[in-house]
Structure 1
Amino acid sequence: MPPPAITVGVLALQGGVVEHIALLHRASSSYPSITFHFLEVRTPEQLSLCDALVIPGGESTTMAIVARRLGLFEPLREFVKINHKPVWGTCAGLVMLAEEASATKQGGQELIGGLDVRVLRNKFGTQVQSFVADLNLEFLGDGEGPFRGVFIRAPVVEEVINGDGKVRVLGTVKKPGEEEDIVAVRQGNVFGTSFHPELTGDVRVHAWWLGNVVEALSQSVKGEDLVIRSGKSVTEQT
C-alpha cells in the first residue's frame, strides 16, 4: 500500500519553481487516494521533510554555489545517493544530478551526482537558440501523441560512463543535420530531462514521475513492514 500522504519538494534556488509546483498539483489528481504536499525547499530542514524532490532549471554553477552557501549541498547528496529518494532534475537539474559534466565554467562544476552519465552543458547554444521539438517518449504510453519538449540552453547526455546497464535512456532528440542526442535518462530513483515539461500545459511527464514516486515509496513502506514483522530494526537489517 502507498503511504497516505507524500511530500514532494521543489528546490527553490532558481528556475521554474512555481511552474513545477503548478503542474505537480494538476498531475496529482491522477492519484486521488493519495494526499500530496508540495514544498519549496531552501533549507536542510525543509529538505528533511520531503519524500521526493524536483531540481528545476536555472544556471547549474550558480545553483551549486547557492546550495553550498545555504548548507544544502551535502544534504542533497545524502538525499540522492545515500537515502535513494526519488529525484527529478530538469535542464540544470540534470546537470546537477550527473556524475560528470563537460563545458563547465572555469574552476569546474560541483555536482550532486546520482546518474552515471557525463552531460554536455549548453549543447544547443545560447538562450536565443532555444527551440521546441516533438519527442516520442515511450514511457508515457501510446495514444496521446508526442510530447512538446522545450529546450533552453539545454544540456544533453554526452555519454553513459558506467556500462552496467543501470542507466536507461528514455528520450532522444535529433535536430536537422545533427546526430541524435540523449535528453531523458533514469537510473533507479533518479530521473533527468534536458527539456522543461513545466513550461508546457502538458502534465504527462509530471504525472508519470509522481506515479514512480508512489511506487518507490510503496516499496519502501513494504520493506519497513517486513523488517518490523521479522522483529528486527531497520538498522539491524542493514
Structure 2
Amino acid sequence: MVTVGVLALQGGFAEHLGLLKRAAHYLSIGREQRFVFDITEVRTPEQLAACDALVLPGGESTTLSLVAVQSGLLEPLREFVKISKKPVWGTCAGLILLCEEASATKRGGQELIGGLDVKVHRNHFGRQLQSFVQDVDLPFLTQGEKQKGAPFPAVFIRAPVVDQMLHQAGSPERTIEILAKYPSNGEGDDIVALRQGNVFGTSFHPELTDDVRIHVWWLDQVIKALPEN
C-alpha cells in the first residue's frame, strides 16, 4: 500500500485527487498489482504522518500557509519535506510554498515550507484575467524514449516562476534539475518545472487538464523512492 496525500486546506485539491486516482489505475495495469495506491485528503498532522508522498495543490499561497499554521501543519510539513525527505509535488501555489524564498509577497510576507533552494516570483504572468493555456515541451516525460512526446497543455493561472537560484551545497540531493522552461518576453526563458531531490514543482496546473501524464510520471517517481526499490 502506497499512501499519497493531497493537502486539502484550500485550492484545487479535488482535481488532483481525481487525476491521481486515474494515474494510479493506469500504473496498476501491467504491474501485476504489486502496488496499491491509497489516494487521500490531508487536513491534519495525523493524516500527513500516514502518507508516503504528498501533493500541494494550486490555490492562494498566502491562504494555504495561514491555514497550515492554524491547523498545526506547518512544522509537520517542513519535517515531511526536509527531514523525512518524502516525495512532494507542488503546483502553482504549492510550488511557492516549497521554495525557500518568494518575492512579490503580500505585506508582512508569508510562511513557506521550503525544500527548493530557489527564489520564486509570485504572479509572474499577471492577474487572473491574464490566465492562459500554452503547449509546453516536457522532455522528462519521455526520457528513454526515441520519439518526442506531444507537448503538454499547461494551464497558467497567476502562475509563479523561479527567478533566482540560491546557494547550493555540493551533495547530489541538493542539485536542482530544470525540467521545463517557457519562453519569456524578456531575456532568457522562465523556469516552469524543476526538481531538487525529493521535491518536484510546476508553475502550471496539470490537474486542470485531462492529460494524466505528469501524474503518472510522478507516481512512478514515488514508487522508485520507496525503501524496497
- TM-score of the superposed pair, with normalisation by structure 2: 0.91
Cα distance in 2 between the residues matched to 1:133 and 1:156: 15
Give the 3-state SS of the residue equivalent to 1:31 in structure 2. helix
Give the 3-state SS of the residue equivalent to 2:228 in structure 1. helix
Matched, 1:154 2:159: yes
Alignment correspondent of 1:221: 228
Shift of 1:179: 4.1
Shift of 1:109: 1.7
Pick which of 143-152 and 36-45 moved more.
143-152
Matched, 1:70 2:71: yes
Q: Which letter does structure 1 place at the counterpart of 2:151?
A: P
Equivalences, count: 216
Cα distance in 1 between the residues matched to 2:14 and 2:68: 19
CA distances 1:114-158 after superposition (whole Å, capped 9, x unpaired): 000100000011000001111110001144310010000000001
CA distances 1:85-111 after superposition (whole Å, capped 9, x unpaired): 000000000000000101111001210
Alignment correspondent of 2:117: 116
Q: Which letter does structure 2 place at the counterpart of 1:59?
A: E
Q: Which letter does structure 1 place at the counterpart of 2:43?
A: R
Alignment correspondent of 1:190: 199
Shift of 1:18: 1.0
Alignment correspondent of 1:225: none
Contact 2:139/2:148 (CA < 8 Å) preserved in 1? no
**1:1-238 alignment to 2 at 5 Å?**
5-32=1-28, 33=33, 34-141=35-142, 142-163=147-168, 164=170, 166-175=175-184, 179-217=188-226, 220-221=227-228
Q: Which letter does structure 1 place at the counterpart of 2:109?
A: G
CA distances 1:185-229 after superposition (whole Å, capped 9, x unpaired): 100110000000000000000000000000001xx236xxxxxxx
Q: Which letter does structure 2 place at the counterpart of 1:144?
A: G
Q: Which has the larger radius of gyration?
A: 1
Identity across matched positions, percent = 62
Cα distance in 1 between the residues matched to 2:131 and 2:13: 20
Cα distance in 2 between the residues matched to 1:93 and 1:177: 25
